[in-house]
Amino acid sequence: MQKKLVQSSLALTAAAALGLGSAFFASPAMADGPQKIDVQSDKQVEKALAEIDPGNVNAYGVKNGKLNLGVEKKTDEIKDLEKRFDNVDVIEGVGELKPYAANDIVGGAGYLVTSPSGGGACSTGFSGWDGAGNPIVLTAGHCAKDYNEDTGVISGPSTVDQTEQPSTAPAAGGDGFNRSGLGVIGTWGFSSYGSGDYLVGDDPNGWPQPKSTDIDFAVINVDETKYDVKNGVTDWTSASTNDLSTKLATDIKQVGSEQPGTVQKSGRTTGVTEGEVWTEYNEAFDYANIGGYWVHGFGVRSDVDDPFSQPGDSGGAVFQGDTAVGVISGGGPAESNGTTFQFGWVADLDYSLQQSGTDFRLTPPDNGGGDDANADAGADGADSDAGADGAAANADAGADGAGANADAGADGADSDAGADGAGANADAGADGADADASDDGNPEKPEAPKAENQTIKPNGQVTGTATPNTQVEVSWAPAGTGPQAAPAEGSKTVTSDAEGNFTLEGPEAEGDYAYKAQTVVDGQKSDVTSFTVTVQAADDATADAAAEGDDANADAAAEGDDSNANADAGADAKDANADAAADSKDSNADADDSKDGEAPAERAIAIEPKEIAASEFVKEDKGVKITVKGFDEGEKVTLEVMAGPENVKGIELTETANADGVARFSIYGTSASNPSVYVGKYDVSVTGANDTDDESPLTGSFKVVADDQGNGGGGSDDGKDGGNGGGGSDLPRTGAELTGLAAGAGLLLVGGAAVVLTMRRVKKN
């Protein structure tokens, strides 16, 4: 665009002067040295600037007898101008500013969706770019789903509609649901709400356990012909202008985990609000029942009169300073210790990005800074199944009967998004970067790396191979779908050497980890290679569950120093099969059967301690350790903990037997604020995948007792169930949690009801 520097005639004057050719230079000779330009004379200024490219001048002013120019860079013509006139000041590095625009999408804005069963409104979370430089918007996954409010059945995806007109949104005092007129935002990319297991009924004992893939998260692929994305979160003070991008609550510089203290949110219903991260609750629970589906995240408390979020804020930006920490998932009234408050549930952003495999950048990748802001979890894009069918349609946007206050009220016109529901459904099987990999003209997809399942020491080396001298993106997370996984997770990019080998340091905490690796060449990602890394202490391989002498706490067959040990290994009267019938000195039932010619170890179970105080049971470093032996190497071993007291749901965990045929489990309670709910007896049963019909399960039990009855966590001395009478255990903790309280007593902390959805729905007439 041509710029006016002095007046509208400037460009014409310059053109005319250039058109004079040599006659233009037939002016009187100039005196030696720099001259002063008469800044009050338009003609002199026009003549002085005739040879300057107006496109390079981005600021202009006349003050105190000087001509001031701001330029992107000093060209030869600019330098010559400075030499000729000593009252011309030039400031370099002044770029062209872009005007604010109502079609700039920022975090916290409203948008509309349509579906066959009705329309709705949600809020944007954070705007940015994917790894290929395509504009995207992050929001809540349940906004992307069409559901039946009465049955909870997902019938398919919703359709992205237009942005909502800010001046008429509830955050600006309006009724909402008015289209902005700027056109459809784009299409759904990845979306997920839960992982397909609907929590049917009011009895938590009948609900499935949460999975690591239970997230409430979605990506909108923005139509660049209609909208731009802009970093930052709106503060809603400019809503009357219908341009939310002009006033921001904050710029976003990074993605991170929530921290204790105040947290803010921006959304189309309640605007910018504040709450307190509910640390006590979050230390006990990772998942909440949001409208009938488990969702991973964290809780926020706020006053009932000033709620952190309300219906329609779903997907809205949750942030602490310049750090993006999540998007709104659900909320509702709650009560704890006689105090009523508003409880909000936030889908944590760092976890959701990792689980979805979304490559999210806060600046365009070609803008220099995209890598630093990259929140890519390195996960497989193929895992990002956003187009699940009815059976797998895990993102029920509607609450179940108890929590279904997703209210509605728009007319049928809102159902018409201007796009057909089936055709508007974005390909959600890959993130933006992967979706572009098959476009014509793009480089061929690189070969996937190779890596085998491996066992390492804490902080040992994880290894694999890939194309020589290429980058490999590696991510890891707790293995398995239940809470028995190891605690650490993360991602790292490494470079393979000239032979194609790559290595990186493994986790410190013991347990099983699910690893994923992708080769990246010229921006193109390979298919994902998945493998398991088991972190095991150095002495585990030799000591396992049957070490002699002082190490006999892990003995699955005999008691340490007791020469009369029956090696009952945890079997009570119901389990005669577990009797190892040997003492710790001579027992051939030792879990270490590595000696040549020694018969395979008999099946045995050790439970330690047999009795534990409730206050100890809820400590992550305490709990009950269960060790079993006598299985085949690599065999899947399943532990079932039967339901104990009322409101505590039983669990089923699976581990893989190691080279010595040993598998370990660790059980502890998650409701640290109310440990007494665990008091009672728990029966356990262990089976192997290779069991024959004539093989009976290993069985045993343990008790959680009131603090005034407990023995401080030590094992019983009755010789049953492998108890050795000692206090504590040095078995590695695998992180298995008795998570029934998340579905039972734990919900008492939030009023005993499922947390409601906060996507505002409107029904058709």
Q: Does 717 lie in the same domain as 606?
A: yes
Among 508, 535, 562, the domain boundary falls at 535
CATH of the domain at 677: 2.60.40.2550
Full domain range(s) for residue 601: 544-731
Q: Does 589 lie in the same domain as 462?
A: no
Q: How far apart are CA 116 and CA 118, in angstroms?
A: 6
In a domain, 28, yes or no: yes
Secondary structure of 160-208 as H, E, C letters: EEEEECHHHCHHHCCCCCCEEEEEECEEEEEEEEECCCCCCCCCHHHCC
Q: If pLDDT is split at 50, 70 and 90, which confidence band does 499 have?
A: confident
In a domain, 653, yes or no: yes
Q: Model pTM?
A: 0.46
Please say if the pLDDT value at position 327 is more than 70: yes
Q: Does 558 lie in the same domain as 488?
A: no
Of the listed ranges 159-168, 448-457, 482-491, the least confidently predicted one is 482-491
Q: Does 602 lie in the same domain as 649?
A: yes
Q: How far apart are CA 753 and CA 28, in angstroms?
A: 91
In a domain, 398, yes or no: no
Q: Which has more confidence, 674 or 433?
A: 674
| Residue 227 identity (one-letter amino acid) | Y
Q: If pLDDT is split at 50, 70 and 90, which confidence band does 749 have?
A: very low
Tell me the residue ranges of DSSP E strands in 321-372. 323-336, 339-348
pLDDT value at residue 434: 33
pLDDT value at residue 382: 34
Q: Which has more confidence, 645 or 452?
A: 452
In a domain, 474, yes or no: yes
Q: Which has more confidence, 572 or 171?
A: 171
Q: Does 477 lie in the same domain as 457?
A: yes
CA 493 and chain centroid, separation: 19
pLDDT value at residue 521: 83
Please say if the pLDDT value at position 315 is more than 90: yes
Number of domains in the chain: 3
In a domain, 763, yes or no: no
Q: Does 645 lie in the same domain as 614?
A: yes
pLDDT value at residue 128: 97
In a domain, 691, yes or no: yes
Q: Does 702 lie in the same domain as 613?
A: yes
The H or E element that residue 38 is part of is: none
Q: Which has more confidence, 707 or 253?
A: 253
pLDDT value at residue 715: 36
pLDDT value at residue 9: 32
Q: How far apart are CA 7 and CA 553, in angstroms?
A: 90
Q: Does 595 lie in the same domain as 719?
A: yes
Two structure tokens written together for 21: 């050719």
Please say if the pLDDT value at position 443 is more than 80: no
Please say if the pLDDT value at position 30 is more than 50: no
Contact 519, 471 (CB under 8 A): yes
Q: How is 681-746 classified by DSSP, letter by letter?
A: EEEEEEEETT--TTPPPEEEEEEEE-TTT--TTBPPSSSGGG--S-BS--SPP----BTHHHHTGG
Q: How far apart are CA 594 and CA 541, in angstroms?
A: 10
Nearest to 666 by CA among 542, 486, 538, 490: 486
pLDDT value at residue 489: 74
pLDDT value at residue 480: 56
Nearest to 187 by CA among 404, 27, 419: 419
**Other beta carbons less than 10 A from residue 67's beta carbon:** 24
Show Cβ contacts of residue 207 under 8 Å, excluding neighbours closer than 6 positions: 197, 199, 200, 201, 289, 649, 743
Q: How is 514-537 classified by DSSP, letter by letter?
A: EEEEEEEETTEE---EEEEEEE--
Q: How far apart are CA 142 and CA 147, in angstroms?
A: 9
**Other beta carbons less than 10 A from residue 191's beta carbon:** 32
Q: For 477-490, how does the pLDDT look when each residue is reduced to its tens digit (9 = 90+)?
A: 887 543 334 456 78
Contact 393, 145 (CB under 8 A): yes
CATH of the domain at 528: 2.60.40.10
In a domain, 569, yes or no: yes
Q: Does 478 lie in the same domain as 618?
A: no
Give the residue-averaged pLDDT of 31-38: 69
Q: For 355-386, how does the pLDDT look when each residue is reduced to its tens digit (9 = 90+)?
A: 999 999 999 876 544 444 444 433 333 333 33
Of the listed ranges 171-180, 386-395, 643-652, the least confidently predicted one is 386-395
Please say if the pLDDT value at position 106 is more than 90: yes
The H or E element that residue 236 is part of is: none
Please say if the pLDDT value at position 594 is more than 80: no
Two structure tokens written together for 477: 């997370």
Establish whether the linkage from the previous residue to 609 is cis, with ω within 30° of 0: yes
Q: How far apart are CA 76 and CA 285, in angstroms?
A: 65
Among 513, 535, 557, the domain boundary falls at 535
Give the residue-averaged pLDDT of 395-414: 32
Whose tokens are 């339901």? That residue is 643
Q: How far apart are CA 639 and CA 654, in angstroms?
A: 6
pLDDT value at residue 149: 61
Please say if the pLDDT value at position 298 is more than 90: yes
Q: Does 504 lie in the same domain as 569?
A: no
Whose tokens are 């000041």? That residue is 89
Q: Does 77 lie in the same domain as 38?
A: yes
| Residue 74 identity (one-letter amino acid) | K
Is residue 71 helix, strand or coil?
Answer: strand
Whole-number mean pLDDT of the chain? 72
Q: Does 596 lie in the same domain as 718?
A: yes
Please say if the pLDDT value at position 247 is more than 90: yes
Q: How far apart are CA 553 and CA 559, in angstroms?
A: 8
pLDDT value at residue 32: 55
pLDDT value at residue 164: 96
In a domain, 694, yes or no: yes
